[in-house]
Amino acid sequence: MQKHMPPSGKGTGTHTDGLSRDAVLNAALALIDRKGVNAFSVRDLARELGVYPTALYWHVPGRNALIAGAVALALRDLTPRRTPPDWQAGVRDLLRRYRQAVRAHPHIAPVLGAQLVSNESMPPELMEHILALLVRAGFEGAPLRHAYNTLIAAMVGFVTLELAPLPDEDADAWADAHRQRMQAIDPARHPLLAREMGRLRQGAFVVRATSGTQAPLDSSFRFWTETVVQGLAAMRAPPSGGT
């Protein structure tokens, strides 16, 4: 019944020969950092560790768990130790820290966006911290849950898109083709798109031909952060009449 249960923390610790769950996950994260999640394979990882592929199954239930564990490592030091009194500063700080953490391991971005729930990558301290910020902002009851969902979506959403991987097989070929496609936009049918093309090419989702890894969207990220902070501030009280 009870498998995948390594030496229990204490014990051994003398020789670095044996694999250990931690060593495996660290190696997995390193490999993902180099090749991306899609190209990440159990067999590659085993090769890297000088071990038969099946040896890994002693420490970890399978490929998915390897990825989830690696992502958890990447988010380990994300949560701040204290909740700042100013909730708006706290939100800004949270978004900034999350972005920093993912930027250190850009290839995990797709997993965070798409499989957030299915792994235990998200530390409970982070969720507690988010709730604390929102309680300080004055949310309670049902709206607290909605604000919680909103803040998590805000934290993950922008960064997932910003760091989304471009096709890395024939990277240059794709980039050229994409640039042409964008330059070929018909100004008659899409006037605004054509007019703003110059600016959008600098760094706009879908239009850009580079990933956020190479060309960070710093000022758009700040804009995003302010939008969220202002929006949450406005949502604290029930909408005051009007249209």
List residues binding DNA (CB under 7 A).
5-7, 12, 17-19, 40-44, 51-55, 57-59, 62-64
Distance between CA atoms of residues 124 and 74, nearest Å:
15
Asked if 190 touches its own copies (CB under 8 A), the answer is yes
Asked if 167 touches its own copies (CB under 8 A), the answer is yes
Interaction partner, residue 87 (DNA, its own copies, none; CB < 5-8 Å by kind): none
Asked if 57 touches its own copies (CB under 8 A), the answer is no
Asked if 114 touches its own copies (CB under 8 A), the answer is yes
Beta strands in 38-157 (DSSP E): none
Given 12, 100, 183, 227, the residue binding its own copies (CB under 8 A): 227
Distance between CA atoms of residues 233 and 138, nearest Å:
9
List, as one string, the DSSP characters of 147-185.
Answer: HHHHHHHHHHHHHHHHTPPPP-SSHHHHHHHHHHHHHT-
Q: Helix count (H) and strand count (E) of the chain?
A: 10, 0
Q: Minimum distance between the CB of residue 142 and its own copies, rounded to whole angstroms?
A: 7
108, 163 Cβ separation under 8 angstroms: no
Interaction partner, residue 124 (DNA, its own copies, none; CB < 5-8 Å by kind): its own copies
For its own copies, the closer CB: 19 or 32: 32
